A and B are shown apart, each in its own frame.
Chain A
Amino acid sequence: MTNLTRDRIEASPGFFKALVDGVPEAIVAVTPDGTITYFNAACERLLGYTQAEVVGRNIAMLVPQQPDRRADAMKWLERWAHEPDETQSRFLDLIAQTKAGKQMPVDVRVVERKIEGERRYLITVRDNTARRQEQAAFKEAHLKASRILQIAEDGIVSTDATQTVTFFNLKAEQIFGYRAEEVLGRQLSTLLPERYRYRHREEVARFGAGKVASRQMNERGHVVGLRKDGEEFPLEVAITKVSVGGALTYTAHLRDITQRKRQEEKLRESERRFRAIFDHAFEAMGLLAPDGTVLEINRAGRLMTEGQSQLIGLPLWDLPWAGSDLEPDDSARQRLKGAIAQAARGERVRYTADLRRGEGDVRKIDISLTPVKDELGHVIYIVPEGRDVT
């Protein structure tokens, strides 16, 4: 085909008729009062009417007023005709009805033109059903994911590759005292005391460049957070990274461990106090399991026995008593064993035993075994005490 022929075809009057009739885009023309004057083949396929069935009738037959919606099609077509194409009906669908009675949301674009001196609205119509369904499915999935993150029991803070905060959930707000709006767009390091910011930034960047996908930040000591009111507090932080569409996102999962630290310190202090009393008592004292196994023994207790360091885990009656046995024969061990069994049944036992330290040195030891019970009355420990009453 020569260029000349091609120009002649494109210039022929038949070309434009064939074009609008043939394009796979539904096209309707209406007068300003809504009377349909043109209906192309794609429109016939989309809505099921033939041109003959609709030309001369009002467009309301194609986009009827919905019983549960006020939108009047012609009013909006007129309005959109005077708006730029990209703002027209971007979020707004008219609802079309096919000849078979099926309803479909349609995206319409419209312009007003004068043809041979007469005003016409030239309208394209697209079935928006699939797009709306996809949008709804996407929104649902998005809502589910963001609900989970938003109401998570951990503080969750996400940033982009430049460590600018892009997500700050409700728990994070509670922990730091900031509203999300105050933190979004700011640097993650805002949430740390000044002195840690530089190092932290570098560390996160290094993590971003590395191969590990997630890491517990307090593997290397605890992390200090900074609340809006300036208070510093201990944090437990795990950091993860994901790369979507080539863009790196960091997410920090945070727990305020102020309370836990406080509890730990309380426990340590209580342990210190217990040790102070236990280890500095003048009397020999220990703690036994109900079966007589030594769980703890204090310094005076270790002196009364051989002073060996490895006494824990042995039954009390098998401990090597200092220099000798309680009595020369096995009866002393058996007596102690029996007394422990008695205490394990819940009775307090007290008796005096002779401890012989070599020839003629007999020391009288006042032994007591006190059961310690739990809330249900079961014996969980026995406290043995020994005092030299010679």
Chain B
Amino acid sequence: MTKITYIENEGTEHVVDVPDGLSVMEGAVRYTVPGIDGDCGGACACATCHVYVENGWMEKLAPMNELERDMLDFAFDVKDNSRLACQIKVSPALEGLVVRTPARQY
């Protein structure tokens, strides 16, 4: 279990223990955190699990692959710290990770 904090766009925080091996998107679905949809089910074929990674964490994540970068074309308000939550695998190294959900997913 790794502690992940999801902060909704309007500020509500969800601090939850996500089983290692799940993705940050699956963790959100598991705890029904609003604002992360995951329409394609984690196949990196949509952009509805777009999140902003909190300061300092971006460098600790496995780098983005090309497909994820492409899919982010379809996310709204993409920033330097944008990632697709389905592509971030939870592991003890991410203990304390904080992600924020964007204003809209589509």
Task: Report which A residues bind B (CB closer than 8 A).
Answer: 66, 68-72, 76, 87, 90-93, 105, 132, 139, 143, 146-147, 150-151, 170, 179-181
Contact = CB atoms under 8 A, between A and B. Distances in A.
A91 B46 contact: yes
Interface of B: 19, 22, 30-32, 34, 37, 39-40, 45-48, 71-78, 106
Contact of B73 (A70, A90, A170): A70
Q: Secondary structure at chain B's binding surface: helix, strand, loop or mixed?
A: loop
A235 to B, nearest CB: 24
B32 A143 contact: yes
Nearest to B102: A68
Contacts of A179: 19
A69 B19 contact: no
A76 B76 CA distance: 16
Contacts of B40: 90-91
A106 B9 CA distance: 26
Nearest to A140: B34
Nearest to B1: A179
Given A68-B77, A70-B78, A92-B74, 5 more contacts: A69-B73, A90-B45, A91-B39, A93-B106, A181-B19
Given A139-B37, A180-B30, A68 B76 contact: yes
A110 to B, nearest CB: 16
Contacts of A132: 106
Contacts of A71: 73-74
A147 B106 contact: no
B46 A92 contact: yes
B72 to A, nearest CB: 7
Nearest to B45: A91
A92 B39 CA distance: 10
